[in-house]
């Protein structure tokens, strides 16, 4: 018997032996159990939870305020090198143009991936990304990996700025996993190679339980919510 067959054979025998006790049970349906939701004000709930996790929420009233907030954050941290992954919101804001105009050494991750040296990510001061969704219940930023959305943008630089719109907020963590299925359907996608749920800055309590941020991932995470509908 090869290792696989031997392994499965052991499991099969153990399963049937253990099931004789009679505790074999169907896969339960969750119904509403554990659903928290966002309450009446999803934006507020998201901002509160993000702040509680140590992240920094910013609600910008319009397109201009959104760009200004990002520029202030980058300059305020003395950021010179930034990596940016594109998304529809970032394109509409022309954020890349604004950052370059402000003298930031910017790399946009939309070219062929071979052209992107890993050193660039390691050296960057700021990573700027859109989001796939936000989760109000937990104050989380959800990112999916794709050709234009490398994992490194939100990981290697010490500062991560995520741009989002209120319409991207999901009330509950359960809602996030309802968006995926093993095979694509009309309203569900297959999970990406990497789905990342980020809740606050990188933390460790390994030294006498004193909270230190930024031990591996970004020490600061800012979410800029562009509140204005961006018609046109």
Partner 1 sequence: MDAAGTAVTDYARREHHDFLGASRQALGDPALQLALVRLTDTLMAGNRRGYAALADSSDLRDHAKRIKEHTLAHLDRYLEQLEASVLRLGGKVHWTADAEEARRTVVGIARAAGCTRAVKSKSMTSEEVHLNPALEAAGVHVVETDFGEFIIQLAGERPSHLVAPAVHHSRESIARILSDRVGTQLPDDPAVLAATGRRLLREEFSRADLGITGANFAVAETGTVVLVTNEGNGRLTTTCPRVHVALVGMEKVIPRLADLPVFLKLLARGATGQTLSVYTTILTGPRRPGEADGPQEFHLVFLDNGRSRVLATPFRESLQCIRCGACLNACPVYRRIGGHAYGGVYSGPIGSILTPLYDSVEANPHLPHASSLCGACQAACPVKINIPHMLIGLRELQHHRQPNRWEALAYRLWAAVLARPRLYRLALAGARALVRPLARGGWLRSLPGPAGGWTRDRDFPAPAARPFRDRWKELEES
Structure tokens at 178: 């309802």
For 107, half-sphere exposure in the C-beta direction (CA atoms, 13 angstrom radius) is: 26
Stretch binding partner 1 (CB under 8 A), from 16-24, 64-72, 125-133, 161-169: 16-24
Window 106-125: residues binding partner 1 (CB under 8 A): 109, 113, 116, 118-119, 121-122
Please tell me what DSSP assigns to residue 205: -
What is the C-alpha to C-alpha distance for residues 15 and 10, in angstroms, rounded to an integer?
9
Binding-site residue total for partner 1 (CB under 8 A)? Answer: 81
Nearer to partner 1, 79 or 150 (CB): 150
DSSP 208-225: TT--EE-SSS-SEEEEEE
Q: Does 201 bind partner 1 (CB under 8 A)?
A: yes
Window 47-106: residues binding partner 1 (CB under 8 A): 49, 52-53
> What mask of x and - would describe binding to partner 1 in positions 142 to 181, judged by CB under 8 A?
---xxx--xxx--x-----------------xx-xxx-xx
Stretch binding partner 1 (CB under 8 A), from 5-13, 68-76, 162-170, 222-230: 5-13
Structure tokens at 157: 């630089």
Closest distance between partner 1 and the C-beta of residue 63, in Å? 28
Task: Please identify which residue in 51, 61, 102, 215 interacts with partner 1, judged by CB under 8 A.
Answer: 215
Task: Please identify which residue in 61, 101, 194, 230 interacts with partner 1, judged by CB under 8 A.
Answer: 194
What is the C-alpha to C-alpha distance for residues 104 and 217, in angstroms, rounded to an integer?
22
Closest distance between partner 1 and the C-beta of residue 25, in Å? 5
Q: Which of 32, 36, 54 is nearest to 45 (CA)?
A: 36
What is the C-alpha to C-alpha distance for residues 46 and 166, in angstroms, rounded to an integer?
10
What is the C-alpha to C-alpha distance for residues 119 and 157, in angstroms, rounded to an integer?
11
Task: Please identify which residue in 4, 76, 167, 231 interacts with partner 1, judged by CB under 8 A.
Answer: 4
For 124, half-sphere exposure in the C-beta direction (CA atoms, 13 angstrom radius) is: 30
Task: Please identify which residue in 79, 130, 157, 200 interacts with partner 1, judged by CB under 8 A.
Answer: 200
Neighbours of 133 (CB within 10 A): 18
Task: Please identify which residue in 7, 61, 91, 185 interacts with partner 1, judged by CB under 8 A.
Answer: 7
């Amino acid at each position: 018997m090869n290792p696989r067959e031997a392994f499965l054979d052991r499991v099969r025998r153990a399963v049937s032996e253990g099931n004789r006790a009679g505790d074999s049970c169907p896969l339960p349906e969750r119904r509403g159990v554990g659903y928290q939701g966002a309450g009446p004000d999803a934006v507020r709930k998201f901002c509160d939870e993000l702040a509680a996790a140590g992240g920094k929420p910013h609600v910008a009233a319009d397109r201009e305020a959104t760009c200004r907030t990002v520029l202030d954050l980058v300059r305020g941290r003395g950021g010179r090198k930034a990596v940016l992954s594109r998304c529809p919101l970032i394109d509409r804001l022309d954020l890349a143009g604004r950052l370059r105009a402000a003298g930031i050494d910017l790399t946009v991750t939309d070219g062929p991936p071979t052209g992107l040296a890993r050193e660039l990510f390691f050296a960057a001061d700021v990573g700027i990304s859109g989001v796939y969704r936000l989760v109000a219940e937990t104050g989380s930023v959800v990112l999916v990996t794709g050709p234009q959305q490398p994992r490194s943008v939100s990981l290697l630089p010490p500062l991560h700025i995520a741009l989002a719109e209120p319409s991207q907020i999901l009330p509950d963590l359960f809602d996030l996993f309802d968006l995926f299925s093993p095979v694509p359907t009309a309203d569900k996608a297959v999970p990406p190679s990497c789905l990342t749920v980020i809740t606050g800055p990188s933390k460790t309590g390994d030294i006498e339980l004193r909270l230190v941020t930024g031990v591996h991932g970004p020490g600061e995470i800012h979410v800029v919510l562009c509140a204005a509908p961006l018609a046109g």
